[in-house]
Amino acid sequence: MWFWTLASLGLAGFLDLVAGVFFVHLLSLYFGHPLLWWQYAIGAALGASPDIDLLYAFFKKNLGGHHEYLTHRPIIGIPLAIIIGWFLGGAFWATAALIGVFWHYLHDTEGFLCLYDNGGLAWFWPFSKEYWGVRDFRVVSRMPEVHTRKEEDVFDNVYKVYLIPTRQAITEFLLTGIFFGYVIGDTLGVHISVAATYVFWVGVAALWIVYHCRSTQR
């Protein structure tokens, strides 16, 4: 069980990590700011940084409701990211923090990329607790669900989204491959980029197949 839990959470967060790397790479080209490997790692962390509240959610056994925590409140998260980035690294890292965190919030918004398993986000909190998003090309809002499900049920929902080839998973992994492939191609060469993207997709397909076989045998 623990393996599939880690695998599903890793796949769920992989796009945000890779997007963070992608954006700091683009910014390094714009600012003329060469990056070391550990600075790419910081970019990855920025893309996933709002999900640091998962640590608290694990402790509170409220994984399904972690979008209700302060790190998923844009009015707090975006200014805080800019301030920390500015003090630690000036304009470059302030911009990187802004884009990384803003991307994460977009990704969590219902209807972003026409995907609807993103959880939702209260963009206008504290003025409104409603989750805002897009559906059928219209702006929509809804109240967040009351998360009273057991932890196992929350993970089961993540399994159903990422451990089988759903529309959400395929779309996110395609975008991951594009971001991932571009950065590697621009830094290490096209051949390595193609090989790395191929290995990524083979790994995802292998996980899907093994999980399917495991599920059918239960």
Q: Per residue in 102-114, pLDDT tens?
A: 999 999 999 888 8
Q: Bridge-partner residues for 140, per DSSP?
A: 133
Provide the percentage of residues in the chain whose pLDDT is more than 70: 88
State yes or no: pLDDT of 129 exceeds 70. Answer: yes
Q: What confidence score (pLDDT) does residue 107 get?
A: 94
pLDDT of 153 higher than 60: no
pLDDT of 64 > 70? The answer is no
Structure confidence by residue, pLDDT tens digits, 33-46: 899 999 999 999 99
Q: What is the DSSP letter of 61?
A: T
Q: Look at 62-71, 79-88, 170-179 and tell me which has the smallest mean pLDDT.
A: 62-71
* pLDDT (tens digit per residue) in 23-32: 999 999 999 9
Strand partners, 138: 135
List of long-range contacts for 93-96, beta carbons under 8 Å, 24+ apart:
93/42, 95/27, 96/23, 96/24, 96/27, 96/42, 96/43, 96/46
Give the angle subtended at the CA of 121 by the CAs of 115 and 122, to the nearest 5°. 145
Q: pLDDT averaged over the chain? A: 87
Q: Provide the residue ranges of all domains of the chain, joining segments of one domain with +.
A: 2-217
Q: 85 falls in which pLDDT band (50, 70, 90)?
A: very high
Residues of the chain above pLDDT 90, percent? 59
Q: What is the pLDDT of residue 148?
A: 47
pLDDT band of 1, cuts 50, 70, 90: low
Count CA atoms closer than 13 A to 47's CA, side-chain side: 23
Q: Whole-model pTM?
A: 0.90
